Structure 1
Amino acid sequence: MYLSEIEQPAITLLNDLDLNVDNYTISIRISWTVRSDVLFGGKVIVFGGDFRQILLVVPNGGRQEIVNTSLCSSYLWRKCKLLSLTRNIRLTVGRPSFEVEEINNFAKWLMDVGEGNVGGSNDGEAIIEIPPDLLIDSTSNPISSLVDFVYPSILENYNDRNYFSNRAIIAPKNEVVHEINDRLLALFPGEEKEYFSSDSLRPTEDGNADQQKIYSPDVLNGLKVSGLPNHRLVLKVGVPIMLLRNIDQRNGMCNGTRLKVTKLYSRVIEAEIISGGNIGSRTFIPRINLVPSDRKIPFAFQRRQFPIVVCFAMTINKSQGQPLSKVGLYLRQPVFTDGQLYVALSRVTRRDGIKLLILDNEGRPTNKTMNVVYKEIFNDL
C-alpha cells in the first residue's frame, strides 16, 4: 500500500446545497479545501498493489520500457510513504497452528519466487526447479492428469454453480488456452451452438477501397486477435465463459467476470454470474462491435460478436485478480515476462491447491521452468 504525503491545504471553498426531503427543504453548507501547489489538489490518495505481479504491458517494449511504466519510476513515488502489510488475517485467524505454519511457508516460497530468490538470486530470466509435490507426476497422459486435478468428476458436477467459480487451468499464451478449452468443450455434454461474427473494415478519412479488395471478409474472419473472441464461437449450456468487455459495471458485468451459460438464443446469451460480488445473478449478453487494440494489425477493422470466450482455461494475465482454490498451470512454453510465474502460483492460498505441468523442448514433463524477475522494480521499496 502506498500513501501520498501532502501538507495540510490552506484555501477553503464553501458551497450551499438545498435538498428537498419529504416536502421539507434542508440547507447544507459544504466546505472543502484546495491547494494548487500540492499533488492532487491537497487530497490524500492511497495506491494499493504488489510489484511482484505482472507489470504493465508495453507493446514491443523491452525491459527498461516496462519498468519505466511502473509507479515507482514516476516522480510521484518520491512523495509517497510506503506502508507494508505484514499479516494475512483472513487466512490465518481461527486456524490451527499447523495450518498457519503451512500457509506461512507457502507464502514465503511465493515471495521468493516473486522476488527472484528461488534457486539463488536471479535478475532477469533464470531457470528454477519446482518442488516435486507441486508437479503432475503422470508420464503416460499428463494433460489428462492436469484436467482431472482441476476438474475432477466434471460430468457429475457441471450443474453446480460453485464448481467452476473457484478453479481454472492457466497458461502463458492464448494458443494453449484455446486448445485446452476446445478439449474440455468436446467432453462437455449437450448440443453445440455456433455463433459467427460479422467482420468489416472500419471507414477511414482517405477511404479504404484498396484495403477492401485485399482484406476480404474471409481474411478478416480468419484473424485471431488477443482480447477479441474468434469469428466462430462454439458454446454449450452449462459451459463457463468470461467477459472480454465492460458491459454493465454496476451489476458486475466487467472485463474478466466469469459466468456460466444457462440458455443459448439466436441473438442473445443468458448466463449466470459465478465470480465477483454478483454471484447468482442472471443476465443477458448481446452482440457488440469490438475493435482490436493490437497495433500490429496494419488496418482498422471491427468484429461484431458476443464479447465472451470459453474459460475452462485462461491466460496467466487474465487470471490476475481471480481468487481460485484449484489451479492447473500448464507450461508447454515458459513464462515470458516479469511476474507471470508469481501471479500464476499465487492464485491459490494453499500449497495443495495447485499443480504444474511443465514440458521441455521435446514435449516431455520436467521439473524446471523459467522465472522472469526485473529486480530494479524493488530498488526503492
Structure 2
Amino acid sequence: MANRKAVEALNLLLQDLMENQLLFGGKTVVLGGDFRQTIPIVRRGSREEIVDACLVYSSIWLLIRKIHLTQNMRAMEDPVFTDLLLRVGEGIEPNVRVDYINLPEDMCLSYHGSDSPLDTLVNEIFPSFDAYSSGSSSLINTAILTPNNECMGEINESLIGKFPGNMVEYVSTDYANDPSQQQYYQDYMNAISVGSLPPHVLKLKVNCPVMLLRNLNPLEGLCNGTRLIVRDLGRHVIGAVIAVGTHSAICCFIKGQNIKFNKILNSTASC
C-alpha cells in the first residue's frame, strides 16, 4: 500500500501537466489494495504515523470512487480459512488479550522440544527435499512467510543446507575505491542487508529455486520477481529455467559482469 503522500504527489503532478484542478488531472487512475492486510510502511514510525500515512486520511479520499471486491479468489477452496480472514479483518474475532487472537489448532504445529523450533517448522513444510532433487517446480508452490529479512536469512540458511547437492557460494563485491580504506569498510559492506539485495554470501545448489531481483529482460520474462529453477552453477554463469508464468520452461543464462551474482539473484527457498 502506497503512502498517501505519494498518491497526493501524483495527483498534483497530473493536475500540473493537464493544467486543470480535476482529480488526477482528469485521468483515470486505478488504485488497488486492502487496508486490512497491507498498510503503508513508515520506517521506524509509530502506530499513529503509520495510520496517518494511509490513503483514507488524505484530502482526496472522499473524491475517489470505491469499488469493493466480495469474493476471496486466493482462498476460495478453503472457506474456513476465508471466514477466519474476514473475521480478523473486520475485528470481530474474539481477542485473548489486546491485539491477540487464538489460532485454530490445524494452523499450529506441535513442538515437544526434541528439535529446534526452526527445524520443526522446516520438516513440517518441507518433509523431504529428495523429492525435489529432479528439479520439480512443485517446490515453488510451498513457502514459509517471514516478518523480516533477518528471519528470512536464517530460514534460507537452514533450507539450502538441507537441500541435496553440492553448494556453490557467490560473494558480493566488497572492495573500497580507496585501498587504504579497505580495512575500515570491508566488514561494514559485508554486513549490509537491505530488502532489495540478498546477503553478502549467496549459497546456491542445482535444482534449488531462486528469484530475480532486477529487470534483466522483461520481454523474455526475466524481470523483478521472476522465479526460476537453477540448472547449472558455473563460475561466471548461472543456468536456470523459468518456473512459472507465460515464459515457464524457457531456459536462460545469467552472466555476472561488473557485479557479482548475489546482486541479481536471491535464494528463495523460504519466500
TM-score (norm. length: structure 1): 0.58
Q: 2: CA distance between counterparts of 1:261 and 1:41? A: 46
Q: Does 1:176 find its partner at 2:151?
A: yes
* Gapped regions of structure 1 (runs ≥ 5): 1-33, 93-98, 203-207, 291-302, 315-381
Q: 1: CA distance between counterparts of 2:75 and 2:189? A: 48
Number of the residue aligned with 2:66: 82
Q: Does 1:257 find its partner at 2:241?
A: no
Match of 1:40 among 11, 15, 24: 24
Aligned-residue sequence identity (percent) comes to 37
Whether the aligned pair in 1 keeps the contact of 2:214 and 2:264 (CA below 8 Å) is yes
SS of residue paired to 2:150 = helix
SS of residue paired to 1:113 = helix
Whether the aligned pair in 2 keeps the contact of 1:268 and 1:285 (CA below 8 Å) is yes
Q: 2: CA distance between counterparts of 1:56 and 1:268? A: 38
Whether the aligned pair in 2 keeps the contact of 1:246 and 1:253 (CA below 8 Å) is yes
Whether the aligned pair in 2 keeps the contact of 1:263 and 1:271 (CA below 8 Å) is yes
Q: Does 1:281 find its partner at 2:250?
A: yes
Q: Does 1:150 find its partner at 2:128?
A: no
Within-5 A mapping of 1:1-381: 36-88=20-72, 103-120=78-95, 126-139=99-112, 140-141=114-115, 142-200=117-175, 212=181, 215-287=184-256, 305-314=262-271
Judging by fraction of residues, say which structure has more strand. Answer: 1
* Gapped regions of structure 2 (runs ≥ 5): 1-17
- Kindly state the Cα deviation for residue 58 of structure 1 after the two structures are TM-superposed: 1.7
SS of residue paired to 1:269 = strand
Whether the aligned pair in 1 keeps the contact of 2:197 and 2:263 (CA below 8 Å) is no
- CA gap 1:91/1:111 in 2 versus in 1, 3 angstroms: closer
SS of residue paired to 1:260 = strand
Whether the aligned pair in 1 keeps the contact of 2:233 and 2:239 (CA below 8 Å) is yes
Q: Segments of 4+ in structure 1 off by > 4 A?
A: 88-92
- CA gap 1:105/1:190 in 2 versus in 1, 3 angstroms: closer
SS of residue paired to 2:99 = strand
- Kindly state the Cα deviation for residue 131 of structure 1 after the two structures are TM-superposed: 1.3
Q: 1:263 is aligned with what amino acid?
A: D
Whether the aligned pair in 1 keeps the contact of 2:72 and 2:82 (CA below 8 Å) is no
- Kindly state the Cα deviation for residue 239 of structure 1 after the two structures are TM-superposed: 1.0
Q: CA RMSD in A?
A: 3.1
- CA gap 1:289/1:110 in 2 versus in 1, 3 angstroms: farther
- Kindly state the Cα deviation for residue 46 of structure 1 after the two structures are TM-superposed: 2.3
- Kindly state the Cα deviation for residue 236 of structure 1 after the two structures are TM-superposed: 0.9
TM-score (norm. length: structure 2): 0.78
* Deviations, residues 8-66 of structure 1 (Å, cap 9, x unaligned): xxxxxxxxxxxxxxxxxxxxxxxxxx782322332332222211222222222222322
Q: 1: CA distance between counterparts of 2:258 and 2:53? A: 30
Query: Radius of gyration: which is bigger?
Result: 1
Aligned length: 252
Q: 2:37 is aligned with what amino acid?
A: Q
- CA gap 1:268/1:215 in 2 versus in 1, 3 angstroms: same
- Kindly state the Cα deviation for residue 196 of structure 1 after the two structures are TM-superposed: 1.5
* Deviations, residues 198-252 of structure 1 (Å, cap 9, x unaligned): 12457xxxxx899x36733344224333332222222111111122233333333
* Deviations, residues 126-165 of structure 1 (Å, cap 9, x unaligned): 2221111111124133544422332233202332433112
- CA gap 1:76/1:209 in 2 versus in 1, 3 angstroms: farther
Q: 1: CA distance between counterparts of 2:124 and 2:179? A: 53
- Kindly state the Cα deviation for residue 109 of structure 1 after the two structures are TM-superposed: 0.7
Q: 1: CA distance between counterparts of 2:73 and 2:167? A: 45
Q: 2:28 is aligned with what amino acid?
A: V
